[in-house]
Structure 1
Amino acid sequence: MVAVSGLVVVGVGIVLCFFGIGSVHVAILASGFGLGWLLADLFAASTWTALLIAAGSALITEILVALVFKVARFVVGLVAGSLIGAKLYAVTAAGDRNVLLAVVVVVATALVFGFLADKFRERVLLWATALGGAGLILSGLGLVWPDPLGFLRHPQPGSEQALSTVLWVALAAAGWLTQRRLFPRALNLRGAREDDDRRARVQDA
């Protein structure tokens, strides 16, 4: 059961990291799920409890965005930022679980990404989904193979922290590059605009 739940987490992380910017609803559900699971895992909830919390978190996030769709980017940035904050705390806390510090880190990161996403839109959401998804993938891998890769989930101070951080950044960069290639129009990249201009000129001719 632990391995299966880990594969579910890895799958959700892949969707968020490599395809999150392609659909607001996908980003909402994946970010909400990831946030719920990481917070539950951070404080040693059982596997079933963590999955139930993750599913409930995804549903609540989707309902929240449906109610306030005009600020959807802010909410997605907020939730993805919370996911990043939870993973950041998991990487840096190294076994020292302080609830107050965890709340401060998660809330602060969430607000930063929420406001940045509202101002800079898809460019920030790209980074938020890539970082959040990458963190989720690594945590899931640590759950699937706890002996060789358990440090990806709860690294110890020193080399494990450093390696976990490097892998997180590298995987997020891969997700960032992949999403830029897959969804140039969603990001309003210059190449996509030039393609649209060429098509418009051909149609006019």
Structure 2
Amino acid sequence: MTGSNTVTLGMSKSKDGDVGVAIEDYLNRANRPYSAIDVFNNLHKEFGKTAVVRALEDLAENGKIKEKIYGKQKVYFADQSQFPAVDESELKSMDAEINDLTGKLQMSQSTCKQQENELRKIDSSMSTEDAKQRLEQVNQEIQHNQERLTTIKSMTNHVTPQEKERIYANQTKYVKEWKKRKRMTMDIVNAILEGYPKTKKQLFEDVGLETDEEYNVTVPS
């Protein structure tokens, strides 16, 4: 029994050592700050979450990695002292490259968006067969309208410009009189309603007054 326990303990310590080595190697390679849950997920959950948290704390305590606390969040990252110092000009060059790549990315995204819009238009447009059918319908409509136009032009009972002007003048005159009489009628109705004990609708029924609205008629403007 004792031998069995010793083997199990040895395997456990070996596993703990593996997680520490794996985490330190990962943080050095990535050289970015991560939370414990980020490290756990980025290692594809190869180690248990508790083992990852414990290993991160041990590594930070031993000075192999660095730890920063932001509120309730702990962040771990590689010890920067092990990396060579970066020249200022190199940093500026990297910033310029980042800006250039960012601009290219934005242009690519814009181009991609335009192409997606064009693709949607193509998908929503008519097929060749539908276009042919629609063209045939339009041609039939054109032919029908041309026949109507020919018939109208051949008619002898055209209205002369003078007759047309006279009709329009009469319409204006009659509409004006219509509006005038309607206004006078409503003035009388409103005057009666001031001392009338019933509603306007009842008054109309009592005197037999018919309205435009009753017959869905609108006074031309």
Scaled by the length of structure 1, the TM-score of the pair is 0.22
* Structure ranking higher in strand proportion: 2
Higher RCO (Cα < 8 Å, 6 or more apart): 1
